[in-house]
Amino acid sequence: MTVLRIAAFSNGDAGGNPAGVLIGDTLPDAAEMQRIAAEVGFSETAFAMPLGDGWRVRYFSPESEVPFCGHATIALGAALALRHGDGIFELELNQANITVEGKRQGGALFAALQSPPTDSRSATSEELAAVLSLFGLTEAQLDPALPPAVIHGGADHFALTLKSREALAAMSYDLDEGRRLMNRHGWVTILLAFAETPAKFHTRNPFASGGVYEDPATGAATAAFAGYLRDIGWPHGGVIDVLQGEDMGMPSRLTAEISDEPGGSIRVSGTARVME
């Protein structure tokens, strides 16, 4: 079986978040999938096998299995479109059933996932203090219109919105300390954001829980964040654009469409490129 390498949420022919995709008649056992993911070395690798009319999918980072990964799902949608033609593909994950659409657009690839259900809650004072300490931030640097929260869209994340783009660009933290904090609370990533407009956000996503300092594009966290915006009544207008990876030199573009249904699925889409 050959592992495809596809950058999801790319910005034209550049940027995006690389993911491994392995499609086979059966899935390797968990230890072998973990070994392959570590060997590929990307933040996640998606493993898929046919199951009924759809596909059974599992996701592995270099250090652990994760319940849902947005950018690897986008990469999988692109890979399925290349193999089977344009379509909407049913996916059975460990904890949810979702779909991914994949299609060719001229010489480019486009994919859109429908996330698992979303929910959010306010961060506790203890959680907030720990996150601020990790990044060396103060409460005065936070955007009061977007309170700190624990957000969910297939996996748990912590969301922290900053007042300035400069503070976002200056993000730094200790990887081992971040890993301990995320694993202790069950957060897959911590999402740091800056609202340029009500419908345009810049984000960064430390992924220390998976042994990755930062992801250049994070579909799962974007879905969870979009659900949080709906929960707090943010004037999103039904769709947001998310710019991520710019501070890493890997510019990525994500679009999240937000319905009015409380807790409903979020459609997250973008382009993808096959890596050489």
Mean of the per-residue pLDDT values of the chain: 96
- Same domain for 149 and 237? yes
Say whether both 81 and 192 belong to one domain: no
> Following DSSP, what letter does each residue of 205-268 receive, concatenated?
EEEGGGTEEEES--HHHHHHHHHHHHHTT---TTEEEEEESGGGT--EEEEEE--SSTT---EE
Cα 95 from chain centroid? 16
Using pLDDT thresholds of 50, 70 and 90, give the confidence band for residue 13: confident
What distance in Å separates the CA atoms of residue 122 and residue 150, rounded to the nearest whole number?
6
**What per-residue confidence (pLDDT) applies to 252?**
96
pLDDT digits (tens, 9 = 90+) for 110-145: 999 999 999 999 999 999 999 999 999 999 999 999
For residue 85, is it within any domain? yes
Average pLDDT over residues 26-50: 96
**110 lies in the same domain as 123:** no
Tokens coding 106? 């001229």
For residue 275, is it within any domain?
A: no
Residues 197 and 231 in one domain: yes
| Percent residues over pLDDT 70 in the chain | 100
Please give the single-letter amino acid code of residue 220: A
271 found inside a domain: no
- Please indicate, yes or no, whether residues 137 and 102 belong to a single structural domain of this protein: no
Question: pLDDT-derived band of residue 2, with 50, 70 and 90 as boundaries?
Answer: confident
Domain match, 90 and 133 both = no
pLDDT at 106: 81
Identity of residue 195: A
Nearest 5°: the CA angle 143, 147, 149 is 135
Please check whether residues 48 and 146 belong to one and the same domain.
no
The structure tokens listed for 44 are 């996640």
Helices marked H in 45-152:
70-84, 125-135
Is residue 149 within 8 Å of residue 121, measured between CB atoms?
A: yes
Tens-place pLDDT, residues 54-79: 999 999 999 999 999 999 999 999 99
Residues 30 and 156 in one domain: no
Same domain, 102 and 234: no
How does pLDDT run across 42-56, given as a tens digit for each residue?
999 999 999 999 999
Last residue of some domain: 97, 114, 131? Answer: 114
Q: Per-residue confidence at 205, pLDDT binned at 50, 70, 90?
A: very high
Q: What are 234-247's pLDDT values in tens digits?
A: 999 999 999 999 99
**Does 220 lie in the same domain as 161?**
yes
- CATH number of 24's domain: 3.10.310.10
Residue 1, pLDDT above cutoff 80:
no
Q: Of 66, 94, 114, which residue constitutes the final position of a domain? A: 114
Asked whether residue 273 is assigned to any structural domain, the reply reads no
Answer yes or no: do 190 and 259 share one domain.
Answer: yes
Q: 272 in a domain, yes or no?
A: no
Specify the pLDDT at position 179.
97
CB 224 within 8 A of CB 216: no
Domain that holds residue 19: 4-114
pLDDT tens digits for 153-198?
Answer: 999 999 999 999 999 999 999 999 999 999 999 999 999 999 999 9
Q: Is the pLDDT of residue 276 over 80?
A: no
The total of structural domains in the chain comes to: 2
Indicate the pairing of strand 239-244 with strand 200-207. parallel
Q: Residues 61, 178: one domain?
A: no
Domain boundary among 53, 85, 114: 114
